[in-house]
Structure 1
């Protein structure tokens, strides 16, 4: 289906309006979103994405609508995986809790601009070179393999080359000044760590796009569908970050599910490349008669894999243990970090969460309690957090 310029303009205007509304009504004034606020706005953004999909289904037809929903679900799943890395970067840079919304919104806006560029570049390549489907398929298969590799300590650190370059060339102050990007220190105008965090988030997102864009092009080559599904999957990601606080650690099988999805789409791309083949060293440059996977089948497989992944993760006792350990560590560290938040209510919330997680640790099966005993650094952090809290209560 041909998408008219008016449809493009209207869609872009709606997206810009939503981003502006998000900034002026939620992010401009630094605050910590409540769980209720995050849940309501996450639901609103998902609802808007689904309504847009229904509109595509009505005006664009069943095939176009199915492509949109398949692309949206895939990109949403990949964006949740991105939240893991955002969480690591934000924690590593000790961004104050009330200022994290601004960092996340910047990351979303940067993602939209960067991925839009990748989308039009990818579309141009596909229109000019049919062999690009082989290349995209290979990227997804390699990415799927990387997701299956065992995690190391490096996988939990914010130390990729983008961040190292940013730290080398961007000299910043040691302390944050609210959510300001620049401040005055000793009479000199200097950058704050907030700007460094934004560069780290934005640069890291470029790496995410390397698997995100080929994945959705494996489901549809309609640029309008690719663009809108990608953008709507990113909208509401800020609210989802706060809504899933603590739940991300529970999704221990998410990487396996995403690996299966990317591998499936990678195979689909290669099959499509064979069907459209014009490379002289494959079948003498003639198309290969292979089966092609329909968008309906793709949508069913993607949803099925995600449902199984989430249910298996939430039902896993090991996942529950790992989630509790990770949550206790994070809340103990944040409580001990005086720069983490100036909001006393948020600090009290963190301490209450830490107490609750301690109770959960005590209820773990014996084989998982061994995991806790081996976490000597964690036990020390919890002990120090209790000491800090007792000292705070005595002073007040």
Structure 2
């Protein structure tokens, strides 16, 4: 499908307009989005992506349409996996709930710019050097192998090298000043954690691109389809974060499903590289007769693997237990942090959630209670949160809290 320049321009303008609309009408005024708001806008962005895909199917044919949807679904799944890391980074920096939308939108915009650069670079390399398919295939196979290894929160450091350099070179503040990037402390201009967390998000976005771009080039080499599938998978990611925030830790098998998909695409890329081979030391530089994987089969494998892994995660008792434990610790820390949110309704929501999660932990059997890391410290943390709430209610000031900032890192 040869795409005219005017369609490229129109598409780029449309995507920028959607980002601008998101900022002006949702993010500029700091607030905590409701579940209804997040659900409506998430569905709207998915609907836009589907309608665009139907247009590609109608105008470009079945192959192009299948390639777009395969790329979109894969990139969307990888984006959901990226939300785990965003959650860890924002929890580490204790980003106020009202400001998290701005951080996420920055991450999406930065990712879109960075990945666009990678897409055009990847397209140019593929058109010039057939051996790049070998390289992309190897990257995906290595990535798939790394995804099946157990990961801890420490494996996704929020204090990446750029953040550490920024802290050493610039005067930084330990406290937020609304959503400002800079503040004044003792008459000196200081960088707030808001700017640092955006640097951390931007740094991880570049790392994500190194996995996602080879993956989608394994499904289609049409640069326009690669760009649009990637862009539409990122749009709506902010709303999706708030929609599935409490379920992220429950998707315990998602990484295994993504590993299978990336390994599958990696093998497909290697087979395609063999079919197009011009590397001198492989079959004397001649193409190798191999079976190539069709786009239809690729789309089917991606959809089936994602359905199986997501459903298995949602119905898993281990997943429910892990979700309750992780969310209880996170919600208790957030509740005890006086700067986390100024919205009384949001603070009450957090408190009700941690009570429900505490009850879920109490109901865990011996097998799943072993998943609680340092159970005594978690119990003490939950008790402090409950005591803080009871004291506030007793004072008749449930929407006001003292200046002490208590953060438990256990």
TM value normalised by structure 2: 0.94
* Number of corresponding residues: 396
Is the aligned partner of 1:308 residue 2:308?
yes
Q: Is the 8 A contact 2:88 2:153 kept in 1?
A: no
- Alpha-carbon deviations, 1:225-254, whole Å to 9, x = none? 000000000000000000011100100001
Distance 1:316 1:281 in 2: 48
Aligned pairs for 1:89-108 within 5 A: 89-108=89-108
- Which residue does the alignment assign to 2:177? 177
Aligned-residue CA RMSD in angstroms?
Answer: 1.3
- Which residue does the alignment assign to 1:354? 354
Q: Is the 8 A contact 1:166 1:199 kept in 2?
A: no
Q: Which stretch of structure 1 is more off in the superposition, 374-383 or 324-333?
A: 374-383
State the Cα distance separating 1:4 from its structure 2 match.
0.6
State the Cα distance separating 1:186 from its structure 2 match.
2.5
Distance 2:256 2:367 in 1: 24
Aligned pairs for 1:49-60 within 5 A: 49-60=49-60
Aligned pairs for 1:1-396 within 5 A: 1-155=1-155, 157-372=157-372, 374-396=374-396
Distance 1:116 1:298 in 2: 24
- Alpha-carbon deviations, 1:326-370, whole Å to 9, x = none? 111111110111111111111111000011111222222332234
State the Cα distance separating 1:192 from its structure 2 match.
1.3
Name stretches of at least 5 consecutive residues in structure 2 with no aligned partner. Answer: 397-410
Q: Which stretch of structure 1 is more off in the superposition, 21-30 or 186-195?
A: 186-195
State the Cα distance separating 1:164 from its structure 2 match.
2.9
- Alpha-carbon deviations, 1:273-323, whole Å to 9, x = none? 000000110000000000000111000000010000001101111111111
Distance 1:363 1:344 in 2: 29
State the Cα distance separating 1:155 from its structure 2 match.
2.2
- Alpha-carbon deviations, 1:62-108, whole Å to 9, x = none? 11111100000000000000000000001100110000000000000
Distance 2:171 2:76 in 1: 35
TM value normalised by structure 1: 0.97
Q: 1:190 to 1:370 in 2, by over 3 A?
A: closer
State the Cα distance separating 1:373 from its structure 2 match.
8.2
Name stretches of at least 5 consecutive residues in structure 1 with no aligned partner. Answer: none
Distance 2:277 2:392 in 1: 70
